[in-house]
Amino acid sequence: MNDPGQPEPSVPPVVAADIDLSRFVRPGDTVLWGQGAGEPLTLTAALAEQAEQLGGVTGFVGLTYNPRLAARGLRLRSYGALGTAADLPLDVVSCHMSALPYLLRSGRVHADVVLCQLSPVDADGNHSLGVTVDYLTAALDVARVVLAEINPAAPRTHGAPPIPHSRLAAAVPADHRLIQVPDPHPDPVTTQIGARVAALVPEGATLQLGIGAVASAVAAALREHRNLRVHSGLVGDWVVDLAEAGVLAHQPGKPAVVAGTAVGTDRLYDFLRENPAVEVRPVERVHDPAVAGRVAGFVAVNSALQVDLSGQVNAEAVGGRRRGAIGGQVDFLRAAAMSAGGVGVVALPATANRGSVSRIVERLDGPVTTGRADMHWVVTEHGAADLRGLDAAARAVAIRQLADPGHQHRLATAIA
């Protein structure tokens, strides 16, 4: 869900595709579809309507903003509770994003039927996956059936293998806008965080950022930087802001932006369309630490729900409620550690619930997403701490100083 006061995603109203899914989906099948703005909304609407008649199926959903997925006969699985999925009954597969291609190709995570949103066919008989590639390519490798929504609003993008029209068991036409997810407007707290993170980003760095309030604030603080590149699982409208501000590097034959998924507004989707400076790639070429770690000056910036005094990070659940995912956080932090001149950052506001709850805690109220040995920098609006080389006592003191002053005394008592 979005932070309070932030722009709400806009999901276009669609009519379910006129397709009899019983021709393709068997009882017990797992149906996987593209996440974020790459969700084929007319097909997922048809699946939700027909799931009970299909004899019970599982839907593998990633980041979604679709409110129509709570349907009888449709059991949902995911790699995390992201977007509206956080409010739905959901079975979560605990894994790093980099592991998903192996899990799919090995059959440990099933993808019997794949639903995808594609650009119109080109002169060679091929389609583009458009704004979402990530783990779809691995699912397409193993799927028994591929069904596609052909949408002119889906931009043709570079970076991924084309999808031959002959691979499709069926295709349905669509003509709706992609999901619109505006970047949040930085508030005073995230503006301070953004400025502190930007101070850690050297000129000429390659940035992993993501989407959300902190990501938007960091990008806003980087508009005076130059010669930056982006290598990120998720990108938002802030990529266009950086391009228009002259921040991104220009080198013929080398992309300025590499992403797995793009989630924003038409402004972003138009920027991606046939843009040779942008590549939307499979997970294996984005999240794999061995790939990203070869990029010199790789700066990974990730958010969190909590950080404890030992430096452990929780980005998944608080108070028993799932609100995130492991995702690519550990992948990218490890890549930053491997990169020559790399910087790994976890950035978060120091409090939640209007200051009443500290997000710097003695002990995590949820799972450990990132272990203390993988942590570099922690940043809040109150400061930045480099944890590398610190013993446990020094770490606790450094992290406590990042907490809101109103909560520091309690944390000092915990240290004592």
In a domain, 221, yes or no: yes
Select from 148, 173, 198 the last residue of a domain: 173
Contact 245, 223 (CB under 8 A): yes
Confidence of residue 4 (pLDDT cuts 50, 70, 90): very low
Confidence of residue 6 (pLDDT cuts 50, 70, 90): low
- For 219-240, what is the mean pLDDT? 98
**Mind listing the pLDDT tens digit for each residue in 83-118?**
988 888 999 999 999 999 999 999 999 999 999 999
pLDDT given at position 3:
42
Read off the CATH number of the domain in which 84 is found. Answer: 3.40.1080.10
Structure-token pair, residue 396: 């606790």
In a domain, 387, yes or no: yes
- For 225-253, what is the mean pLDDT? 97
Range of the domain at 237: 188-410
In a domain, 5, yes or no: no
Per DSSP, 328 falls in state T
Select from 173, 205, 226 the last residue of a domain: 173
Contact 214, 184 (CB under 8 A): no
Torsion, CA 298, CA 303, CA 304, CA 305, rounded to 10: 180
Residues 55 and 81 in one domain: yes
Residues 204 and 160 in one domain: no
In a domain, 376, yes or no: yes
The structure's pTM equals 0.95
- For 387-405, what is the mean pLDDT? 97
Residues 149 and 198 in one domain: no
pLDDT given at position 416:
62
pLDDT at 310 over 90: yes
User: Nearest CA to 361 among 327, 390, 318, 322?
Assistant: 318
Residues 153 and 242 in one domain: no
Residues 244 and 353 in one domain: yes
- For 400-404, what is the mean pLDDT? 97
Read off the CATH number of the domain in which 361 is found. Answer: 3.40.1080.20
Residues 159 and 193 in one domain: no
Confidence of residue 8 (pLDDT cuts 50, 70, 90): confident
**How far is Cα 63 from Cα 85, in angstroms, rounded to an integer?**
7
Residues 264 and 131 in one domain: no
Mean pLDDT of the residues in the chain:
95
| Residue at 155: amino acid letter | P
In a domain, 180, yes or no: no
Residues 218 and 165 in one domain: no
Select from 150, 173, 196 the last residue of a domain: 173
Number of domains making up the chain:
2
**Mind listing the pLDDT tens digit for each residue in 61-72?**
999 999 889 999
Residues 71 and 153 in one domain: yes
In a domain, 396, yes or no: yes
User: Nearest CA to 282 among 101, 67, 22?
Assistant: 101
**How far is Cα 118 from Cα 108, in angstroms, rounded to an integer?**
26
Residues 138 and 203 in one domain: no
Residues 71 and 152 in one domain: yes
**Mind listing the pLDDT tens digit for each residue in 188-206?**
999 999 999 999 999 999 9
**Mind listing the pLDDT tens digit for each residue in 138-168?**
999 999 999 999 999 999 999 999 999 999 9
pLDDT > 90 in the chain, percent: 93
Residues 308 and 161 in one domain: no
